[in-house]
Amino acid sequence: MAAKKSATPNRAFKVADQIQRDLTELIARELKDPRVGMVTLQGVEVTPDYAHAKVFFSLLVGDPVETQAALNQAAGFLRNGLFKRLHIHTVPTLHFVYDRTSERAADMNALIAKAVSSRAKED
């Protein structure tokens, strides 16, 4: 007999996506911590049991370490806000993680531009 498939295989993705949308709104409208500036939520990963969610964020300006501390300090408040919005049995504990992807991309682009300009000078 085949393994039983989940009734909604994309449910974890849908829940993660909804958490990301709701958190974006909650952080922008209800979080009054001055350490949290222009935060962009890059993605949410939910554990299979929905007990925990890693929330990846990036910053336009500000200190990533301070912002991460502020967001993790506000995680209970934000989770409570999610309880009121999400209609799921378990709202996960939130863990905020600074996402350096955009930083690394900018560094890579700078390296590529440097290589291209040095090659152009050689030709």
What's the topology of domain 11-120?
A: GMP Synthetase; Chain A, domain 3 (3.30.300)
pLDDT one-digit tens code per residue, 41-78: 999 999 999 999 999 999 988 899 999 999 999 999 99
**Contact indicator for 48, 16 with CB cutoff of 8 Å:** no
Q: What's the whole-model pTM score? A: 0.78
> What is the spatial distance between Cα 79 and Cα 122, in angstroms, rounded to a whole number?
57
Helix (H) or strand (E) holding 73: helix 64-73
